[in-house]
Structures are given as C-alpha cells and as structure tokens.
Amino acid sequence: MSADLSKTAYDHLWMHFSRMADWADTPVPTIVRGEGAYIYDDRGRRCIDGLSGLFVVNAGHGRRELAETAARQAAELAYFPVWGYAHPRAVELAERLAHLAPGDLDKVFFTTGGGEAVETAWKLAKQYHKLTGNPGKYKVISRAVAYHGTPHGALSITGLPALKAPFEPLVPGAFKVPNTNIYRAPVHGDDPEAFGRWAADQIEQQILFEGPDTVAAVFLEPVQNAGGCFPPPPGYFPRVREICDRYGVLLVSDEVICAFGRLGTTFGCQKFGYVPDMITCAKGMTSGYSPIGACIVSDRVAEPFYRAGTSFLHGYTFGGHPVSAAVALANLDLFDREELNQGVLDREADFLATLSRLRDLPIVGDVRGNGFFYGIELVKDKATKETFTEEETERVLYGFLSRALFENGLYCRADDRGDPVVQLAPPLIAEQGLFDEIEAILREVLTQAWAKL
Ligand SMILES: Cc1ncc(COP(=O)(O)O)c(C=O)c1O
C-alpha cells in the first residue's frame, strides 16, 4: 500500500456522493482518529466534528467501552443471521427498543442501515394492506427535498429530483407534498399554527387526489434534514396523525437522523408528541461503532404478519448483526449513565442562541432546527431572501466554503439540496465552549464567503 493514503484514495476508494474528478490533483481529506467531539486528520490537524461524522457519532469519538464490547461479542459469536434463528443480543436489543419506543411499537425488524429501514417500511406497508383486504393501497407520500436513502424504493420516496434523475424510472407510486420550510412558506409565513395546518392539509389533499384506496403510507422525518433542518410547525404532527387515521394510511416516522438523542429524546416523535405506526432508525443507535438499522413496527401493523402461514418475505444477511446489536446495547447503557438526552434538552437553547449570533452577518438568512440539529441558510440578500445562483453555489458553497471550514477546524456540511445551508449536528456531549468555537469559525469563514459573492 502506498504511504500517501490520499493518493491511493483517489486511485481506489470510490467515495460516496462525490465528484471523483475533484480529487485528481487535490489530497483527499483523510481522518485517522477521533476523540470526544474532535477528529484528527493524517497531517495531525485537529478539527471539530460538527456533524458527528454523518449524524452518527452521537456519544462522541474514542469510547473504549463500545470498542471493547464489539471485540468481546465478536469473540463470543461474531455472526449469526436472524432468519428463523435468534441470538441473545438481537433479542435483548429488540426488547430494549420496544420498551423505549412510544405506544405499541413493539416489533423490531433489523436492517444494516437507514435506507434499508425505509425500504423495509414501504414493503411492509404494502404487504400489510394486502393482508388486511386493501390490496390497492401501495402508494407513498413524502415531502419535497426530503432525503430517505438510496435503494430504489427509498430513493423514490426521496424528494430530490436531481438525485433521482440518473436512475429513472424508479418505483412507481411515490408522490410529494410541500415540506415545513416556514422561512420560504408560500402561505402563512408569519403564522406557524396556520402554516402547520396548511402543510398537514397538503397531505390530505394528496391522499384525496390519488384516492385513499391507493395510498399505503406517509413518510416524514420529525425534523427534515435535507433543505437544512425544518422543524414541524405547532400542530403539524397531531393533524397528520388524524389525517392518516381517517384514510387508513400508515404514518412512518423516518428517524434515521432524529432518533437516539439528536433532538434530546430517544425517538424524535417523542419530542413532538406523536405516535407513528413505524419508526425507521439507524445511525446513532450504535453511535457509529458498528452499523445497524431498524424498522420498529406497531403491534397493530405486525398482527397480520403473525397469523399462521404468513411471513414477511424480506431480510438482510447482516440485519441485527450480533456485534452491532451488542454495541447498540452498550451505547444505550452509556446514554442512560451519562444522561445524554437530558444534556441535549438542557443545552439546546444555548446552542441555538450561540448559532443565532451569526444572524448579524449579511449572508445569514435563517438559523433553524431543534435539539443538536441546526441549519444555517445562506442568502445573497436578507431582505428579499434572494438565494445564490447556480454559479455562486458552485463557486462559493462548493469551491470555497466546505473546504475553508475544514481548513479552519470545523468539519460540517455545506449543502444545496434545497437552498444553500450549513448544517451542524455535533456529538451530544458538546457544551458551551464547543458551541462558541463553532460560532467563531463559522463567523470567520462566512465573512470570507460573503466577500467572495
Ligand atoms: C432521514 C433519512 N432516511 C434514510 C437515510 C439513509 O440512511 P443510510 O445512509 O444509512 O442508508 C438517511 C441518511 O442520511 C436519512 O437522513
């Protein structure tokens, strides 16, 4: 192997969602170590992990107990499938998740990641309706700009046309409604309650347009990630719940990011007081020390699958992997012991207040989010909310901002899947000192970005 890892990376490591050509003459940033809320690159530079890797490392880096748990489990039983057999860690984790999940969400179908959990939920919804006498209910409704993963089904649910275009035709029957971006609300922008009612009613309209007998499920994130952290307006989820119940449509809470403390609760739906029919989750379940995902299903939805002679014909070789399940259990123990969720609830207002200081910069149009999950929307003109042109996005967001933030010691995400945003989601151990550091780096780099516009 070459000593120059970043050159070898360009030669052999096909990076995800990356323009590989950009790395032909530029070293690929290579992260070699993590400790707490910091990561270190191969040149020994320390950087704040402002995105918990990819909304994953919720307990922070360098947790030896999670690493040691993984090693112990691998030595005891490295692998066995959950296809008609059980192993202790999968059983214990399923029971623990069922206890932590709200309402009667008691059945846990393991996957290896988030996209597979979303894929599972759609297939499960389709078969559920077939088993309960509604074979025509197969369509799904989700929101504009929302990201739900890359398998064909999950990608169809995703509301980002540019991400889907290369792979059309996708799975038929996936329809989109407006999201809860109140900063750019087409109506009721100054009245969150009215906006929430309107946004929820768009789901009802879509169900009626398609025909209630054809709609299987609605997929929503508690706080929508893509587009830059859109929290739900007041009253939104209770109304969506009512609408789904009225038309026999399953509500899937896609919590691949929002579960496991990102919003200060184990599940994101608990922050906003609704009970979905299914929760999809992954990422923070192990804080990234080993991969796993899950679709957590209500007893009501699971019931027809538990009838004699019936099975859900779906599964993954590595779903519920013993090492990942063991690490997830240890991670949940760590969450309890260190009261990580409560810490987020205690400090979320301070984090938001610290980031909101950036509103004095001309380039900052909006700061929004919940828990430890925030988006800073960048604009060219605060008064008109004019956004960047394509050329400016290319030059300033991609050509300058991402790299400059990293060079200045902050790994986070500069994104234009909706309008240009910078996203922050640090490990849940972050405290005021780190919030201040993040704000100072953003202030410096956003000021330089403004000069380049
Ligand atoms: C809401 C949501 N759903 C699904 C996914 C896909 O998860 P994965 O990348 O683990 O397949 C993501 C990934 O970020 C996500 O944010």
Residue 413: CATH number of its domain: 3.90.1150.10
Residue 265's CATH number: 3.40.640.10
Nearest CA to ligand 1 atom 4: 148
- Which residue in this structure is represented by tokens 């042109």? 389
Q: Which domain holds residue 434?
A: 5-62+339-452
Ligand 1 within 6 A of CB of 227: no
Angle (CA) 134-149-260 rounded to 5° is 95
Residue 93 CA to ligand 1 centre (angstroms): 21
Residue 282 CA to ligand 1 centre (angstroms): 8
Q: Are residues 80 and 195 in the same domain?
A: yes
Ligand 1 within 6 A of CB of 37: no
Question: What per-residue confidence (pLDDT) applies to 3?
Answer: 57
The beta-carbon contacts of 389-397 under 8 Å, at least 24 apart in sequence, are 392/453, 393/420, 395/452, 396/449, 396/452, 396/453
Residue 180 CA to ligand 1 centre (angstroms): 19
Most distant CA pair in the chain, distance = 68
Q: Are residues 75 and 42 in the same domain?
A: no
Q: Are residues 162 and 177 in the same domain?
A: yes
Q: Are residues 56 and 80 in the same domain?
A: no
Ligand 1 within 6 A of CB of 118: yes
Ligand 1 within 6 A of CB of 113: yes
The sign of the torsion formed by the CA atoms of 219, 351, 262, 50 equals positive
Amino acid, single-letter form, for residue 303: E
Q: Are residues 117 and 262 in the same domain?
A: yes
pLDDT one digit per residue (tens) for the chain, 453 residues: 445 788 899 999 999 999 999 999 888 999 999 999 999 999 999 999 999 999 999 999 999 999 999 999 999 999 999 999 999 999 999 999 999 999 999 999 999 999 999 999 999 999 999 999 999 999 999 999 999 999 999 999 999 999 999 999 999 999 999 999 999 999 999 999 999 999 999 999 999 999 999 999 999 999 999 999 999 999 999 999 999 999 999 999 999 999 999 999 999 999 999 999 999 999 999 999 999 999 999 999 999 999 999 999 999 999 999 999 999 999 999 999 999 999 999 999 999 999 999 999 999 999 999 999 999 999 999 999 999 999 999 999 989 999 999 999 999 999 888 899 999 999 999 999 999 999 999 999 999 999 999
Site to substitute for ligand 1 among 118, 142, 258, 279, most atoms within 8 A of C-beta: 118
Ligand 1 within 6 A of CB of 257: yes
The beta-carbon contacts of 125-133 under 8 Å, at least 24 apart in sequence, are 125/216, 125/217, 125/250, 125/252, 125/278, 125/301, 126/216, 127/305, 127/312, 127/313, 128/216, 128/250, 128/301, 128/304, 128/305, 129/216, 131/304, 131/305, 131/307, 131/310, 132/304
Q: Let me know: does 70 contact 289? Beta carbons within 8 Å.
A: yes
Cα Rg of the chain, angstroms: 22
Q: Give the bridge partners for 295, in sequence order.
A: 109, 280
Q: Are residues 373 and 257 in the same domain?
A: no
Domain boundary residue, one of 306, 338, 370: 338
Q: Are residues 254 and 364 in the same domain?
A: no
Nearest-atom index, ligand 1, CA of 54: 14
Residue 116 CA to ligand 1 centre (angstroms): 9
Count of domains in the chain?
2
By C-alpha distance, which of 165, 160, 166 is closest to 224? 160
Question: What per-residue confidence (pLDDT) applies to 107?
Answer: 98
Question: What per-residue confidence (pLDDT) applies to 1?
Answer: 45
Question: What per-residue confidence (pLDDT) applies to 415?
Answer: 86
Residue 431 CA to ligand 1 centre (angstroms): 26
Domain boundary residue, one of 338, 354, 377: 338
Residues 6+ apart with CB under 8 A from 434: 37, 48, 426
Q: Are residues 250 and 353 in the same domain?
A: no
Residue 360 CA to ligand 1 centre (angstroms): 33
Residue 148 CA to ligand 1 centre (angstroms): 5
Nearest CA to ligand 1 atom 11: 115
Question: What per-residue confidence (pLDDT) applies to 7?
Answer: 83
Tokens matching residue 453: 């516009």
Q: Are residues 427 and 353 in the same domain?
A: yes
Torsion (CA) 361, 233, 57, 413 in degrees, nearest 10? -40
Ligand 1 within 6 A of CB of 147: yes
Q: Are residues 38 and 147 in the same domain?
A: no
278-281 vs 293-298, strand pairing mode: antiparallel
Residue 440 CA to ligand 1 centre (angstroms): 30
Ligand 1 within 6 A of CB of 119: no
Residue 203 CA to ligand 1 centre (angstroms): 22
Quick: pLDDT tens for 373-398: 999 999 999 999 999 999 999 999 98
Ligand 1 within 6 A of CB of 57: no
Nearest CA to ligand 1 atom 13: 149
Residue 322 CA to ligand 1 centre (angstroms): 22
Q: Are residues 255 and 358 in the same domain?
A: no
Q: Could you give the strand order of the β-sheet that contains 46-49, starting from the edge strand earlier in sequence?
A: 31-35, 38-41, 46-49, 410-411
Domain boundary residue, one of 338, 371, 400: 338
Q: Are residues 209 and 324 in the same domain?
A: yes
Question: How far is 113 from 280, CA to CA, in rounded Å?
Answer: 9
311: three-class secondary structure by DSSP: coil
